Amino acid sequence: MNQPRVYTTTQVATNTFIRGVYLWMSIGLMITGYISYMVSSSPTLISIFLQNQLLFLGIIIGELVLVVTISGAISRLSANVATALFILYSGLNGITLSTIFLIYTQTSIMKTFFICSGMFGAMSIYGYTTSKDLSSWGSFLFMGLIGVIIASIINMFFHSTQMEFVISVIGILVFVGLTAYDTQKLKLMGQNAPLDRKSTLQKGTILGALTLYLDFINLFLLLLRFLGTSRD
């Protein structure tokens, strides 16, 4: 006769936290995808958001402010405000990412999305299940990320296709590593999640969702450079 599985308080906290993280990350991705498609499909919205350079720049700045606010001031925000800001960020990111539907074919975008989902899922499972401590990856991945950002800015002036290729390859490796690293870090956060403090739990969930959301989006965009088929 099978014995019922008994969960410890730590296991319950971790499972509750991780489920919330992936739920909100998925909601964020769905919001982004829906708005991206709607904007790119509407000549009126394209004219309003994409052809108005000042407004488009304002949206990008707004996204940066929201990421900094959620990441840096999460402890001072209420759970509802943190959730609303994450939803707002997902929507604004949908507007800026709508440009990919104007550059690449829908078929190649969907193909890249499924490939990215498989890579992200595999590395996330690895980060969650491995007994290896991935904390040593942190400084290495951070330096790689900074290097990719600096190299991308420099290449904006040189427009080197070879340099862009190298940046993309390194970027993919960095975000594949970050997916596993961040997942393990969130698992550890979940083990200490306070089930009796729902507001704190919700804010941690939103912060975790934002972290994995950014990993997924950046990995997707880098893969799209290789796998995307131009509309031209």
What would the pLDDT profile of 51-105 be if each residue is shown by its tens digit? Answer: 999 999 999 999 999 999 999 999 899 999 999 999 999 999 999 999 999 999 9
Does a structural domain hold residue 2? no
Residue 208 has pLDDT above 90, yes or no: yes
Residue 189 has pLDDT above 50, yes or no: yes
Does a structural domain hold residue 1? no
Does a structural domain hold residue 3? no
Task: Please tell me the distance from the alpha carbon of residue 39 to that of residue 53, in angstroms, as a whole number.
Answer: 15
Cut 0.85: pTM above it: yes
What is the total count of domains within the chain?
A: 1
What would the pLDDT profile of 135-156 be if each residue is shown by its tens digit? Answer: 999 899 999 999 999 999 898 8
Task: Please tell me the distance from the alpha carbon of residue 139 to that of residue 130, in angstroms, as a whole number.
Answer: 19
Q: Which domain holds residue 103?
A: 9-227
Task: Please tell me the distance from the alpha carbon of residue 232 to that of residue 220, in angstroms, as a whole number.
Answer: 21
Q: How many CB atoms lie within 10 A of CB 148?
A: 21
6-15, 113-122, 166-175: segment of lowest average pLDDT: 6-15
Task: Please tell me the distance from the alpha carbon of residue 221 to that of residue 171, in angstroms, as a whole number.
Answer: 10
